[in-house]
Amino acid sequence: MPDIRSFLRTFPAPAHHQWLGLACFAAMVWGLYTAAEAIISIAVIALACNVLLNRSVGHIFRRFLRDPAMLGLTGVFLLYVCSGFFSEDTGYWLRRLRLALPYLALPIGVLSIPRLGRAQYHGLLYFFFLWALGSSLYSLALYLQDFESITAQYKVGKVLPTPVQHIRYSLMLAFAVPVGAYLARQRLYWLGGWERYLQWGGSVFLFLFLHVLAVRSGLLALYCCVAYWLLRWIFLRRKWALGLGLALGLAGGLWLSATYVPTLKNKVNYTIYSLQQFARGEKLDELSDSHRLGSVLAGLALLKQEPVTGVGLGDLRAGCEAYYQAHIPSIAGRDLLPHNQWLFVAAATGLPGLLYFLWATVFPLWQRQRWKDWLSVSFHLILFSSFLVEHTLETQFGLTLYLWFVVLMARFHSPEKG
């Protein structure tokens, strides 16, 4: 019969924290690909418990305090807390703080995993890649079952069925493209060498599928990465003429896609139509692009109103709504926040808050020269490009996606892997 007292003296052991921590990060991927907010929340809470109920909690906190990148990310939450001093709507402020709680849990939570070496890090990346591949095949199958109807919906700004919100989903697929190539180059196989064909082939399939999905945020992110890969390859190999030829070939391929891929062609035409309507001030209540452009104008107006302190995170919604009522009443009442991450932060916390946010999000890439790691650069390019057109980090899915990769990459490239 097992000795319960002996077990309790050693529980929880490092092995328990190892498996719980890795399970939490795997569960977050599951939640991201299935729109399961509850699973993500439970995983974040469990990761926090993995720190607080750890016999080495003091050591974890000391490591955390020595890591400026992790401290900087947690500081974004404190920045939002401080904005409450300039907010009258405390209820909405508290609601926004609840969505920002992963800033507290993930940067320190990743340190509760005793070891995050090559096997663990690459295994989590592989799990993410397989989810991307499987879910995209499922979406493609649904599209092919109702090809004509779904293609026609792209003329009015709709997209084919996706397991989660299409913009966030396209960003995940865009990053899964380099992840597959990275795993193949690292020769990470679970069953055998044949998996390299799955990894390379999966990356190519996802690259092509993103053009069929035709979500502009995902394509922008993808081609930012393609431009970076091409420039990096040209400078490393000194193949100037060949590089120019490849660039022209990619440009030609993109033009052909926009001309002959029906979903992408309809999306391009819809975008042109939306911009024309916004310029004329017509049909603003019907077109999503008009909503985005209007929200950016509202954010700029609020920043101009309070450039130093911002209007406060709690009053950002009310400030935007007041702007819509005064200038663009046709899009009022939709709870539209600035569709630009940097403008969102600036309008809520002022220019000093924006400068801090810029440092907090750029420093993890700069720390220990992680900019030399092409996968880390690719991920940051994808997220930063999305910041131009979305408040990516102001939703549970967007923030979890961002922090999931940033903290894992930081921990893997840290001298203290375990």
CB 166 within 8 A of CB 396: no
Using CA atoms, how far apart are residues 8 and 10, in angstroms rounded to an integer? Answer: 5
pLDDT score of 3: 60
Q: What whole-number percentage of the chain has pLDDT above 90?
A: 62
Q: What is the token pair recorded at 323?
A: 């702007």
Model pLDDT for residues 221-256, shown as the tens digit of each residue: 999 999 999 888 888 888 778 777 877 887 888 788
pLDDT of residue 1: 45
pLDDT at 270: 77
Angle between helices 316-327 and 288-305 (to 10 degrees): 110
pLDDT tens digits for 38-66?
A: 999 999 999 999 999 888 899 999 999 99
Burial of 314 (0-12, 13-18, 19+ CB in 10 A): buried
Residue 162 CB neighbour total at 10 angstroms? 23
What pLDDT does residue 152 have? 87
Helices 166-185 and 396-412 pack at an angle, to 10 degrees, of 20
Among residues 209, 251, 206, the alpha carbon closest in space to that of 227 is found at 251
Distance from C-alpha of 329 to C-alpha of 298, rounded to nearest angstrom: 12
pLDDT for residue 5 is more than 70: no
Look up tokens 């967007």; give the residue. Answer: 398
Instruction: Decide: helix, strand or coil at residue 373.
Output: coil
Q: Where are the domains of the chain?
A: 75-88+116-412
How much is the mean pLDDT over the chain? Answer: 89
Tokens of 315: 């009053």
Whether the pLDDT of residue 155 is over 90: the answer is no
Q: How far is CA 225 from CA 1, 200, 342, 355, 365, in A?
A: 58, 17, 20, 25, 15
Closest to 96 (Cα-Cα) out of 109, 83, 106: 83
pLDDT at res. 162: 92
- pLDDT for residue 405: 95
Q: Which of 391, 271, 412 is nearest to 335 (CA)?
A: 391
Find the mean pLDDT for residues 302-322.
Answer: 95
- Per-residue model confidence (pLDDT) at position 44: 95
What is the rounded distance in angstroms from the CA atom of residue 156 to the CA atom of residue 277?
A: 13
